[in-house]
């Protein structure tokens, strides 16, 4: 396994190693005393003098995946001499400016993107504080670890060592091809972004003690594609033992049916997509296809690959994301969860009330027939069932139907299916539904939209209100409650804590969840009718794939 060091052999390689105690520095913004990680000495920045929060930004956790290392498993980070100033975020993975429509300014991008960031307020390397590792979303084609709403200061104040990571995206992280598979000792390709995440988690095991973190108390959490990544990691044999709790916010791969070599209800195989893209990029007559592909400049590769989300099934863009390959992911997620083959760790999972509203901004349909044709392409023999759940009789009804369809089939349904499958293991699971509607900001009017819970989880009040001064008392109270639930779960595997409403563990029979909104209260039967029907449809789909 190239670049993936065994956790059992090196789990505590530098546990407790630090050049000096992590002493507070008098002035905010100056460099904190250096600490030693496996690659060398690093310095960070004092974020808050009173609490002692320090940030270490842009730490390489693997070698730059460029040149001959494009489409190779991540390799160990290159060591350095002297003290490396980790005071600025590293570049985001090369990507298009897709998130600009949501008000996010794209930072510097590069294929050399395998960096992570750490926030800590630990007084010494021996503190053994719980660790939380955040995996960003963005449909596996966009996003980065240093978005403003991912600031880790509030988590560090809560006694957590917070880590945010980058990973390869789009055609850099999820491009598969038969010739790439042939290069691999495992005869696989395409899941490089997932290998990056695993490499980052192994880096945490080997290095987090130097920041005062406990490698035996690690929680992975993420939103959207980050949540899908978490649910993927909960199934991968390669990630076993690297974390001890999991949180998914608006995402799951349980109904992900992409396969490395076999066509599926989602379409062609990853290798078939790769062959099609390679022919478009370098032609079929190239003598060294992979060499020619690796020589293509990143901007050109990105432009020609044209990565997209595949919302309608009619786009010319190419979808990228994790796939069943028999090694990193042994089988279809739904089958693995059904067999209880997920890692037996506590799970906290949930969705937002208006998950689909943002995505309808990209809905291309002008007529009802276009909408229906798209559903037929996506759902084939199950299209009439889907159209029955989400009917549109006039063009004015399409956006509402699409919003509800996306919310249920992408988020609520898969999350419920995943959390119900936790009854096949011994660990408890907790379900939430976020309903708080933002009162200010450029996305006012989209309801409790996709990703709107993040600012509350991180308690970055400026992100949900425009500025900290504009945050309402309701927003502050909800954010305090959510970060408290999340950090308590990271510490103990149970989110319940004195001073907040009781959060019942999930049981299929009662189907209870915790509503996180203007008030915090228990509810039940979330989108039950639609989710029951989607469960039935997906069961049929997997019967088609695997036989009786």
- The residues carrying an active-site annotation are 224, 355, 450
CA distance linking residue 350 with residue 453, whole number of Å: 10
| Residue-level length of the chain | 548
Of the candidates 88, 32, 25, the one whose C-alpha atom is nearest the C-alpha of residue 59 is 88
Contact 216, 130 (CB under 8 A): no
Instruction: Report the Cα 320 to chain-centroid distance in Å.
Output: 14
Please count the other Cβ atoms lying within 10 Å of the Cβ belonging to residue 502. Answer: 10
Cβ-contact 171, 191 below 8 angstroms: no
The answer to whether 189 and 271 are in contact (CB under 8 A) is yes
Q: How far is CA 308 from CA 163, 165, 170, 534, in A?
A: 28, 22, 9, 24
> Is-contact 251 411, C-beta < 8 A?
yes
What are the C-alpha distances in Å from 91 to residues 94, 106, 148?
8, 10, 14
Q: Could you give the angle at which helices 192-207 and 225-233 cross, rounded to 10 degrees?
A: 70
Contact 482, 341 (CB under 8 A): no
What's the token pair of residue 531? 């989710």
The secondary structure element, H or E, covering residue 307 is strand 307-308
Q: Could you give the CA distance from residue 200 to residue 90 in angstroms, rounded to a whole number?
A: 15
Pairing of strands 115-120, 53-60: antiparallel
Q: Rounded to an integer, what distance in angstroms lies between the CA atom of residue 514 and that of residue 482? A: 11
351: helix, coil or strand?
strand
Q: Which of 476, 487, 489, 486 is nearest to 518 (CA)?
A: 476
Which are the contacts of 320, defined by CB distance < 8 A and separation ≥ 6?
140, 141, 169, 170, 171, 173, 174, 175, 305, 307
């Amino acid at each position: 396994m190239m670049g993936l060091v065994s956790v059992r052999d090196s789990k505590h390689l530098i546990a407790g190693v630090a050049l000096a105690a992590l002493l507070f520095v008098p002035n905010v913004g100056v460099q904190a005393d250096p600490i030693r990680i496996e690659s060398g000495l690093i310095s960070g920045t004092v974020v808050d003098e009173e609490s002692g929060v320090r940030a270490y930004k842009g730490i390489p956790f693997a070698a730059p995946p460029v040149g001959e290392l494009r489409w190779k498993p991540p390799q160990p980070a290159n060591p350095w001499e002297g003290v490396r100033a980790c005071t600025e975020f590293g570049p985001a993975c090369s990507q298009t400016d897709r998130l600009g429509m949501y008000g996010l300014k794209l930072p510097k991008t590069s294929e050399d993107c395998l960096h992570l960031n750490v926030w800590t307020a630990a007084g010494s390397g021996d503190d053994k504080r719980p660790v939380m590792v955040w995996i960003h979303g963005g449909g596996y084609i966009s996003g980065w670890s240093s978005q403003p709403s991912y600031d880790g200061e509030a988590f560090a104040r809560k006694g957590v060592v917070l880590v945010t990571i980058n990973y390869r995206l789009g055609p850099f992280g999820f491009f598969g091809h038969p010739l790439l598979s042939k290069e691999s000792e495992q005869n696989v390709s395409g899941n490089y972004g997932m290998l990056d995440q695993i490499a980052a988690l192994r880096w945490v095991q080997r290095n987090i003690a130097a920041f005062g973190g406990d490698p035996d108390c690690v929680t992975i959490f993420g939103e959207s594609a980050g949540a899908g990544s978490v649910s993927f990691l909960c199934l991968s044999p390669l990630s076993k033992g690297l974390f001890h709790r999991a949180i998914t916010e608006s995402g799951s791969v349980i109904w992900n049916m992409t396969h490395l070599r076999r066509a599926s209800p989602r379409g062609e195989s990853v290798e078939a997509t790769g062959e099609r893209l390679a022919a478009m990029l370098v032609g079929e007559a190239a003598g060294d296809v992979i060499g020619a592909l690796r020589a293509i400049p990143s901007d050109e590769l990105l432009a020609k690959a044209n990565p997209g989300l595949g919302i309608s099934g009619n786009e010319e863009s190419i979808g990228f994301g994790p796939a069943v390959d028999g090694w990193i992911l042994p089988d279809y997620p739904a089958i693995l969860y059904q067999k209880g083959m997920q890692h037996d760790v506590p799970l906290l999972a949930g969705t937002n009330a208006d998950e689909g509203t943002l995505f309808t901004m990209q809905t291309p349909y002008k007529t009802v027939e276009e909408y229906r044709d798209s559903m037929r392409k996506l759902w084939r023999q199950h299209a009439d069932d889907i159209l029955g759940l989400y009917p549109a009789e006039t063009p004015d009804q399409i956006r509402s139907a699409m919003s509800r369809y996306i919310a249920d089939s992408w988020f609520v349904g898969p999350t419920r299916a995943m959390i119900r499958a936790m009854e096949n293991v011994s660990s408890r699971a907790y379900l939430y539904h976020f309903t708080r509607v933002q009162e200010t900001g450029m996305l006012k009017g989209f309801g409790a939209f996709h990703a709107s819970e993040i600012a509350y989880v991180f308690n970055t009040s400026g992100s949900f209100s425009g500025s900290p001064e504009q945050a309402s008392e309701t927003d502050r109270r909800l954010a305090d409650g959510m970060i408290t639930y999340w950090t308590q779960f990271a510490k103990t595997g149970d989110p319940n804590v004195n001073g907040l409403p009781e959060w019942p563990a999930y049981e299929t029979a009662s189907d209870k969840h915790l509503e996180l909104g203007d008030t915090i209260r228990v509810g039940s039967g979330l989108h039950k009718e639609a989710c029951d029907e989607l469960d039935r449809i997906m069961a049929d789909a997997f019967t088609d794939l695997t036989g009786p």
